[in-house]
């Protein structure tokens, strides 16, 4: 088995596929990339049993064959080469020879037969979505997903497709993000929960892509096909909580404020907040927003005033500054609207501008109880 390939093209593909491989695998074969050669097409795969990713690159060859090569060793070697053609030659025995302009390198390989096969999806439902829209949907929601092993359904992003819109939701019970696109729809209604790891991989790959992604899914797996790559992953099993029930419908107190100024204030003031609760206090009255925090253990205190547009009763409400700054940082708007009802009910953040047509972002943050 012999093929010639561009070093930089191979490295670019392997760096993407390397994101799938876990640092400590139960099966030693999963520390490897699977190379499957069919004449001038080389298909490379990586897997952690939950997620399998495959991409195809063109090479010079007339051979066929299947081998597994150690991922770390191959990546470390390729990173050191300037752009040049590399010749891979697997002879009988169990070593593959790589020939470069600088010299020769032998590394061990394993039979490709040992590598786990990607899951096939029998008669799946399918939806097509532009790459940049999926990448945006992931980056707008994934930060709000939880990390609690006891509640695995909340550790992923909930995909909700129907003939009117596509909705993506993530929550950890303290904060919630709902991202909706009415300009992209699905033929059939479907709901599934995607794990974080494959979503982070997709976010990185798709952000620069112009093409569409085909999403195929059934009850247990989802398959994403784009450009020259395929990602198949297992879905999180379980029922997603009824998130609509926690979004307050009546919110008479409405605060409009410049997002960048508000974010900077929250970041500055939060330095003085308690290191356990990260609590900051918002006090609204007329056209003035007062942001304050104190850490009683160390007598630290901060107080800032911002100009705002506020409609509603004068009120005070406490929020976790980390959650609030994460949300404000994730929005692209110049101005943000925060709707509230009572100091013990969630606040709803929505961007006033900066969204595309057909794009809706709703962010919800739970309050923290204020100290007297």
Q: Which CATH number do you get for residue 130?
A: 3.10.150.10
Domain boundary among 56, 82, 114: 114
Using DSSP, state whether 23 is helix, strand or coil.
coil
Nearest to 51 by CA among 156, 158, 161: 156
Asked whether residue 120 is assigned to any structural domain, the reply reads no
194 closest CA partner among 257, 150, 237, 255: 237
Query: Is 193 domain-assigned?
Result: yes
How far is residue 26's CA from residue 116's CA, in Å, rounded to a whole number?
Answer: 13
Instruction: Write out the chain's pLDDT in tens, 372 residues.
Output: 999 999 999 999 999 999 999 999 889 999 999 999 998 999 999 999 999 999 999 999 999 999 999 999 999 999 999 999 999 999 878 899 999 999 999 999 999 999 999 899 988 999 999 999 999 999 999 999 999 888 999 999 999 999 999 999 999 999 999 999 999 999 999 999 999 999 999 998 998 788 999 999 999 999 999 988 999 999 999 999 999 999 999 999 999 999 999 999 999 999 999 999 999 999 999 899 999 999 988 889 999 999 999 999 999 999 999 999 999 999 999 999 999 999 999 999 999 998 889 999 999 999 998 765
Of the candidates 163, 137, 134, 115, the residue with the CA atom closest to the CA atom of residue 225: 134
Same domain, 19 and 90: yes
pLDDT score, position 171? 97
In a domain? residue 285: yes
pLDDT of the residue at 191: 95
From the list 185, 182, 155, 188, the residue with the least C-alpha distance to 170 is 155
Confidence at residue 101, expressed as pLDDT on a 0 to 100 scale: 94
Give me the phi and psi of 370, to 5 degrees please: -75, 140
Residue 277 is assigned to a structural domain of this protein: yes
**Taking a C-beta distance cutoff of 8 angstroms, is the pair 138, 195 a contact?**
no
The pLDDT value recorded for residue 149 is 84
Contacts of 311 (CB under 8 A, 6+ apart): 253, 254
Cα–Cα distance for residue pair 234/222, rounded to 1 Å: 7
Helix (H) or strand (E) holding 127: strand 125-130
Residue 168: how many CA atoms within 13 Å on its side-chain side? 26
Q: What is the pLDDT of residue 144?
A: 96
Angle, helix 131-141 to helix 196-206, in steps of 10 degrees? 130
Please tell me what DSSP assigns to residue 116.
P
**227 and 262 together in one domain:** no
Q: Which helix (H) or strand (E) holds 364?
A: strand 359-365
Instruction: List Cβ neighbours of 132 (8 Å cut-off, separation of 6 or more).
Output: 206, 207, 209, 210
Q: Both 254 and 268 in a single domain? A: yes
Instruction: Name the phi and psi angles at 29, rounded to 5.
Output: -60, -25
What is the domain extent for residue 227?
Answer: 125-244
Count structural domains, the chain.
Answer: 3
Cα–Cα–Cα angle for 186, 192, 196, rounded to 5 degrees: 115
Contact predicate 216/231, CB 8 Å: no
Measure the CA–CA gap between 362 and 143, rounded to whole angstroms: 14
**Residue after which a domain boundary falls, among 244, 261, 287:** 244
- Both 188 and 292 in one domain: the answer is no
Q: Does 119 fall in a domain?
A: no
pLDDT for the residue numbered 370 = 78
Shared domain for 15 and 106, answered yes or no, is yes
Rounded Cα gap, residues 54 and 44, in angstroms? 6
Handedness of CA 201, 205, 210, 216 (dihedral sign): negative
Question: Per the domain annotation, does 268 fall within a domain?
Answer: yes
């Amino acid at each position: 088995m012999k093929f010639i390939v561009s070093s930089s093209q191979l490295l670019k593909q392997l760096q993407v596929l390397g994101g799938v491989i876990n640092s400590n695998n139960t099966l030693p074969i999963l520390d490897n990339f699977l190379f499957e050669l069919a004449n001038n097409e080389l298909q490379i795969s990586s897997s952690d049993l939950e997620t399998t990713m495959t991409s195809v690159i063109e090479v010079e060859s007339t051979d066929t064959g299947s081998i597994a090569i150690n991922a770390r060793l191959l990546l470390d070697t390729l990173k050191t080469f300037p752009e040049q053609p590399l010749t891979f030659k697997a002879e009988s025995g169990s070593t593959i020879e790589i020939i470069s302009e600088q010299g020769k390198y032998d590394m061990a390989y394993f039979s490709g037969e040992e590598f786990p096969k990607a899951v096939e999806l029998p008669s799946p439902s399918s939806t097509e979505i532009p790459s940049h829209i999926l990448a945006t949907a992931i980056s707008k929601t994934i930060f709000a997903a939880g990390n609690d092993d006891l509640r695995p359904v909340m550790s992923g992003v909930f995909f909700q497709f129907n003939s009117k819109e596509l909705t993506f939701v993530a929550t950890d019970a303290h904060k919630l993000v709902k991202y909706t696109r009415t300009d992209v729809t699905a033929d059939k209604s479907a709901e599934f929960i995607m794990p974080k790891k494959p979503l982070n991989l997709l976010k990185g790959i798709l952000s620069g892509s112009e093409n569409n992604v085909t999403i195929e899914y059934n009850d247990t797996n989802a398959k994403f096909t784009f450009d020259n790559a395929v990602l198949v992953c297992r879905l999180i099993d379980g029922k997603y909580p009824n998130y609509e029930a926690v979004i307050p419908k009546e919110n008479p107190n409405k605060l409009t404020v410049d997002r960048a100024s508000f974010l900077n204030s929250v970041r500055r003031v939060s330095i003085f907040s308690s290191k356990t609760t990260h609590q900051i206090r918002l006090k609204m009255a007329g056209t003035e927003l007062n942001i304050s925090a104190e850490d009683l253990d160390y007598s630290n205190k901060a107080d800032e005033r911002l100009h705002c547009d506020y409609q509603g009763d004068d009120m005070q409400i406490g929020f976790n500054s980390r959650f609030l700054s994460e949300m404000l940082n994730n929005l692209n708007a110049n101005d943000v609207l925060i709707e509230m009802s009572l100091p013990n009910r969630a606040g709803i953040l929505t961007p006033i501008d900066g969204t595309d047509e057909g794009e809706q972002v709703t962010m919800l943050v739970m309050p923290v109880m204020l100290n007297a």
